[in-house]
Amino acid sequence: MTALPTALITGATSGIGLALARRLAATHRLVLSGRREPQKLPDKASYVGADLSEPGKAADVVHMALREAGITKLSKLVLNAGTGTYAAADAEDAGTIRHTLDVNLVASVLMAHRLAPLLEAGSGKLVLIGSVAHRGSGNMPSYAASKAGLSGLARSLRSEWNGRIGVQIIHPGPTRTPMHENAGYQPGGLDRLFFSADAMADEIARLIEADRPATTIMIAARLRRLVSGKRS
């Protein structure tokens, strides 16, 4: 029997990451990461607890856990974990800004570097989860900056790795997950237009297969689905 390829997903304890894990579970051996272990893991999945607000330590913890599990190759590394604060630029203090940049950007740089040898061994691909906010968005300046930083990271690694490891960045549009409430944003009735986490995970899984270097998943795609009768 052929062994399943291994996919590591960060931020897999909630929202988009958890929904994506459910989608990839049939075709991958999964290693899921977050701060709190999900009550029920998908079949063949294991869990590594790592707090990305300490990026260097988290990269070491994840690297060590893979080594202890005998995993030497990765087919996919999906750096999906993310956080942010909904606040005007002058309302964020240095600690909050640093926290957002550490979790969303610094940890992604360090995880990518640390796990690159496993991706290369597995002819694998790095998938960065950005946001439509990477273009800039009011009341989320450090979040937007962190996601714009991921775009630069994707371009740099694509150049540096020169085809030895695939690099893809996917920028989701608004999605109904706990992230908005955690960030202090109340979308009100607007969230009826948002993607569900499952619908967004479907789009992301499809894009990972399609292999385009950079894609933004616009709300227009969601509206097309609603019009065509697929309500999720």
For residue 122, state whether it binds ligand NAP (rule: CB under 6 A).
Answer: no
Among 119, 129, 153, 165, binds ligand NAP (CB under 6 A): 129
- d(C-alpha 155, C-alpha 158), whole Å: 5
Tokens of 92: 């964020």
- d(C-alpha 118, C-alpha 75), whole Å: 8
- d(C-alpha 198, C-alpha 22), whole Å: 9
Among 1, 2, 36, 229, binds ligand NAP (CB under 6 A): 36
Tokens of 221: 């795609």
To ligand NAP, the closest distance from the beta carbon of 62 in angstroms equals: 10
To ligand NAP, the closest distance from the beta carbon of 136 in angstroms equals: 14
Tokens of 205: 């899984």
Among 17, 122, 141, 166, binds ligand NAP (CB under 6 A): 17
Among 83, 100, 108, 168, binds ligand NAP (CB under 6 A): 83
DSSP conformation class of 211? T
For residue 48, state whether it binds ligand NAP (rule: CB under 6 A).
Answer: no
- d(C-alpha 55, C-alpha 222), whole Å: 34
Q: How far is CA 137 from the centre of its chain?
A: 19
Among 80, 100, 142, 168, binds ligand NAP (CB under 6 A): 80
Which residues in this chain contact ligand NAP in the complex, by CB under 6 A? 11-17, 34-36, 51-53, 80-83, 103, 129, 131, 172, 174-175, 177-179, 182
